[in-house]
């Protein structure tokens, strides 16, 4: 079963991540620190991932900021810390497990800046980030304290054992913090240079490793998570960025407010005006959509979409082979096989966001045309009475 299983859900090769290094750049478990570990941490097994997909378990979420536009000044560093601490509303915990108030955390942050000679203002945009922001989160309903404990263990394993200092803060909605999101999540602010001068270098493979490790650790605390790629799960549309999610939430709140101040009205007006000044690429996509609606033609496949369709075909082939092998296994394997077969037989089509918008627009136009056609033959009671009176009046006029 190994061949089909590894083709469907490639296992995590932690040894490759732990042996990789680039001069003075430290990867997760760089070679100089890998010797300190008493074991090689494992990820999820293929069967655990397959069961997670079959039973639709929530995915382990790990988000990383963009280093090129990240924290490069003292002001950026302090703003990041104040943000995750919500300006003192949440306590901050460091890599030693010490709970600090915001003032003590800021004092410690100043030591970071002094050691790394962080500038007061941006003098070089190509300067590497002095700290990295990372978020790990669980679905709504997870116990916040268990989430924090799992994140604490992940932080010690990934960062502390590699000599990196960090702060961590748990965010969750409760009586004291009613505006926080429903899903409990932990923010990490990690110093980008460790105690021997090696720089943190997180790549896609490292993020995948962190996702799987967090899922394994969370399971020990009773939180069931999975860690698979979007392509394997059959999700092809690009995920929304955090900035876009926040913007949509703000727009929704503004719509719900019955009254708006003049300042709010001006703010909404400026947003609408800014929306008109679209990026050339966005403007081109909008024109393509409008042209397709006008001419009735379909929007062609972008090279990226063609690649996504090829990936979907490959995934379905691998799933089919893995399902056939599961059917030869235990009763539990057979149940997983049936659930996988049902899930992958009902996947949505591989299409771009523009093609999806076009399909929805065409469907709405068709529904509107059908509704108008049906209503054309219907008459209200008032219309029927008006016609009846006209007929009666015409009949009386004819008799006279």
pLDDT in tens, 45-84: 889 999 999 999 999 999 999 877 788 899 999 999 999 9
Residue 33, pLDDT above cutoff 50:
no
Sheet holding 25-26, edge to edge: 21-22, 25-26, 199-200
pLDDT tens-digit readout, 324-381:
999 999 999 999 999 999 999 999 889 888 888 888 888 888 888 888 777 766 656 6
User: In whole angstroms, how large is the CA radius of gyration of the chain?
Assistant: 29
Q: Which residues pair with 189 in a beta bridge?
A: 133, 167
Within 10 Å of residue 79's Cβ, how many Cβ atoms?
Answer: 11
pLDDT tens-digit readout, 168-177:
999 999 998 9
- C-alpha angle 50-51-54 in degrees, rounded to nearest 5: 90
Cα-flanking dihedrals φ and ψ of residue 55, to 5°? -95, 10
- Are 150 and 218 in contact by the 8 Å Cβ rule? The answer is yes
pLDDT tens-digit readout, 81-126:
999 999 999 999 999 999 999 999 999 999 999 999 888 887 777 7
| pLDDT band per the 50, 70, 90 thresholds, residue 292 | confident
Beta strands 166-171 and 185-191 are antiparallel
pTM score, two decimals? 0.78
Of the candidates 227, 311, 319, 330, the one whose C-alpha atom is nearest the C-alpha of residue 11 is: 227
For CA atoms 49, 54, 60, 61, the dihedral sign is positive
Task: Give the rounded percent of residues in the chain with a pLDDT score beyond 70.
Answer: 80
Query: Roughly what angle, to the nearest 10 degrees, separates helices 280-295 and 353-376?
Result: 40
- Are 223 and 146 in contact by the 8 Å Cβ rule? The answer is yes
| Element holding 250 (H helix, E strand) | helix 242-256
Question: Residues with Cβ < 8 Å from 189, sequence gap 6 or more?
Answer: 80, 81, 84, 131, 132, 133, 166, 167, 168
The Cα 228–Cα 48 span in angstroms is 10
Q: What pLDDT does residue 237 have?
A: 73
The Cα 190–Cα 106 span in angstroms is 14
Residue 32, pLDDT above cutoff 90:
no
Q: Which residues pair with 21 in a beta bridge?
A: 26
């Amino acid at each position: 079963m190994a061949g089909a299983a590894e083709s469907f859900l490639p296992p995590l090769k932690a040894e490759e991540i732990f042996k990789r290094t680039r001069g003075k750049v430290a990867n997760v478990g760089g070679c100089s620190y890998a010797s300190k570990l008493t074991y090689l941490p494992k990820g999820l097994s293929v069967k655990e991932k397959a069961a997670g997909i079959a039973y639709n378990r929530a995915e382990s979420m790990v988000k990383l900021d963009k280093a090129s536009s990240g924290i490069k000044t003292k002001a950026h560093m302090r703003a990041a810390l104040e943000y995750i601490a919500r300006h003192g509303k949440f306590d901050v915990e460091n890599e030693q497990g010490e709970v600090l108030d915001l003032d003590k955390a800021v004092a410690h942050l100043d030591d970071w800046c002094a050691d790394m000679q962080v500038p007061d203002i941006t003098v070089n945009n190509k300067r590497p980030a002095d700290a990295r922001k990372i978020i790990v989160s669980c679905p709504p309903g997870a116990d916040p304290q268990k989430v924090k404990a799992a994140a604490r263990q992940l932080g010690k394993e990934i960062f502390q054992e590699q000599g990196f200092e960090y702060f961590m803060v748990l965010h969750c909605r409760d009586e004291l913090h009613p505006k926080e999101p429903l899903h409990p999540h932990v923010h990490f602010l990690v110093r980008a240079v460790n105690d021997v001068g090696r720089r943190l270098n997180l790549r896609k493979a490292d993020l995948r490793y962190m996702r799987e490790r967090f899922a394994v650790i969370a399971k020990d605390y009773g939180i069931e998570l999975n860690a698979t790629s979007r392509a394997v799960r059959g999700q092809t549309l690009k995920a929304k960025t955090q900035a876009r999610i926040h913007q949509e939430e703000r727009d929704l709140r503004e719509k719900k407010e019955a009254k708006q101040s003049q300042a709010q009205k001006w703010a909404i007006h400026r947003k609408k005006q800014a929306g008109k000044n679209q990026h050339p690429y966005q403007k081109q996509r909008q024109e393509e959509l409008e042209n397709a609606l006008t001419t009735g033609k379909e929007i062609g496949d972008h090279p990226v979409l063609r690649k996504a369709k090829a990936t979907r075909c490959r995934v379905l082939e691998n799933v089919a082979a893995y399902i056939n092998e599961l059917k030869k296994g235990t009763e539990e394997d057979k149940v997983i096989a049936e659930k996988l077969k049902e899930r992958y037989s009902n996947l949505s089509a591989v299409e771009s966001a523009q093609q999806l918008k076009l399909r929805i627009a065409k469907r709405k136009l068709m529904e509107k045309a059908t509704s108008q056609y049906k209503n054309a033959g219907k008459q209200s009671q008032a219309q029927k009475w008006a016609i009846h009176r006209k007929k009666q009046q015409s009949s009386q006029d004819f008799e006279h």
